[in-house]
């Protein structure tokens, strides 16, 4: 089935008790956070911007780091707020039906909306923490941005002097194995896998759909554009996320 959220909802959806959700950029666009890979995405329009999040360029070029710190400062200053899509997933958790919330987003808006930090698996990391590329020291982003605002254009690690970056996964960087394993386990152990606002073209996120299908889960895709997994989905919804999600997760 493709298009609108069906009324009434299918029984298998209202009866689902272990729903694993995967969210992508589309969930945060209503909060004013740009989609990087979409048709009008930042990287689609300006491929050079991708260098800002490519590890080898970042480590080699102080100018790229300075630009990155200014970008992080601007992002924090914009103070994005969670939207109706985030809130719907908090409701799902309160109903006791959320197995896990896997997200490709790095904005922390699920936790800001009220999703339990123990349910959220940030496979691409978070902008709210800073990581030293030499010693692995982790510190709050706020503290590093305070140093930028105090006049350090490229603050170094206070422990070892190494290069600091946001605790997000850059191109050329491995994902955190522990987080990916937890996401795969949640995809394998759900009765419904709900992919929202993601193009399902980036691994390992895309592979989670396959894991879910192999383990007998129903699949729901909510996305503005077609995805490579629409054919295997039991339900494909093209409605805006902010209105579709609250209806899809309405208690059965």
Question: Is 132 among the residues that bind Zn ion (CB under 5 A)?
Answer: yes
**Min CB(40)–Zn ion separation in Å:** 37
Strands (E) across 38-158 are located at 98-103, 120-122, 125-132, 138-140
CB neighbour list of residue 11: distance below 8 Å, 6 or more residues apart: 252
CA dist., res. 243 & res. 3, Å (int)? 13
**Min CB(166)–Zn ion separation in Å:** 15
Phi, psi dihedral angles at 18 (to 5 degrees):
-130, 90
How many residues of this chain interact with Zn ion, rule: CB under 5 A? 8
Which is closer to Zn ion, CB of 90 or CB of 132? 132
Contacts 24+ apart (CB under 8 A), 158-164: 159/132, 159/135, 160/132, 160/134, 160/135, 161/134, 162/132, 162/133, 162/134, 162/135, 163/58, 163/59, 163/65, 163/132, 163/133, 163/134, 164/130, 164/131, 164/132, 164/133
Q: Does the annotation flag 190 for ligand binding?
A: no
**Min CB(223)–Zn ion separation in Å:** 39
Using CB under 5 A as the criterion, what x/- string covers residues 153-172 for binding Zn ion? ----x-xx-x----------
Segment near Zn ion (CB under 5 A); pick from 22-30, 129-137, 176-184, 237-245:
129-137
**Min CB(146)–Zn ion separation in Å:** 18
Phi, psi dihedral angles at 49 (to 5 degrees):
-65, -25
**Locus of tokens 């590890």:** 55
Which is closer to Zn ion, CB of 138 or CB of 178? 138
- Kindly state the tokens that stand for 14: 């209202």
CA dist., res. 147 & res. 230, Å (int)? 46
Question: Is 100 among the residues that bind Zn ion (CB under 5 A)?
Answer: no
**Which parts of 177-206 interact with Zn ion (CB under 5 A)?**
none
Q: Does the annotation flag 135 for ligand binding?
A: yes
> Which one is catalytic: 86, 110, 124, 128?
124
Which is closer to Zn ion, CB of 9 or CB of 156? 156
**Min CB(144)–Zn ion separation in Å:** 12
Distances in Å between the Cα of 163 and the Cα atoms of 29, 117, 240 are 30, 28, 40
205 in Cβ contact with 102 (< 8 Å): yes
Question: Is 135 among the residues that bind Zn ion (CB under 5 A)?
Answer: yes
Q: Is residue 124 annotated as part of the catalytic site, yes or no?
A: yes
Which is closer to Zn ion, CB of 65 or CB of 86? 65
Question: Is 143 among the residues that bind Zn ion (CB under 5 A)?
Answer: no
Active site residues: 124
Q: What are the residues binding Zn ion (CB under 5 A)?
A: 132, 134-135, 137, 157, 159-160, 162
Q: Residues marked as binding?
A: 132, 135, 157, 160
Q: Which residues are annotated as a binding site for Zn(2+)?
A: 132, 135, 157, 160
């Amino acid at each position: 089935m493709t298009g609108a959220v069906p009324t009434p909802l299918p029984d298998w959806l209202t009866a689902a008790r272990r729903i694993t959700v995967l969210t992508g950029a589309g969930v945060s666009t209503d909060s004013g956070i740009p989609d990087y890979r979409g048709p009008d995405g930042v990287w689609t329009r300006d491929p050079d911007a991708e260098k800002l999040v490519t590890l080898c360029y970042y480590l080699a070029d102080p100018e790229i780091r300075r630009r990155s710190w200014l970008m992080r400062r601007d992002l924090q200053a914009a103070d994005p707020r969670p939207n109706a899509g985030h809130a719907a997933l908090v409701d799902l958790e309160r109903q006791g039906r959320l197995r896990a919330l896997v997200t490709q987003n790095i904005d922390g808006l699920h936790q800001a909306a009220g999703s339990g930090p123990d349910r959220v698996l940030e496979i691409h990391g978070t902008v709210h923490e800073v990581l030293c590329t030499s010693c692995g020291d982790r510190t709050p982003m706020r503290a590093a941005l305070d140093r930028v605002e105090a006049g350090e254009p490229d603050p170094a690690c206070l422990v070892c002097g190494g290069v600091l970056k946001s605790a997000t996964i850059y191109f050329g960087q491995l994902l955190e194995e522990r987080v990916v394993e937890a996401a795969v386990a949640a995809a394998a152990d759900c009765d419904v896998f709900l992919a929202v606002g993601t193009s399902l073209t980036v691994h390992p996120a895309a592979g989670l759909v396959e894991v879910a299908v192999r383990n007998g889960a129903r699949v729901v895709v909510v996305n503005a554009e077609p995805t490579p997994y629409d054919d295997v989905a039991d339900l494909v919804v093209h409605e805006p996320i902010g209105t579709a999600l609250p209806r899809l997760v309405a208690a059965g």
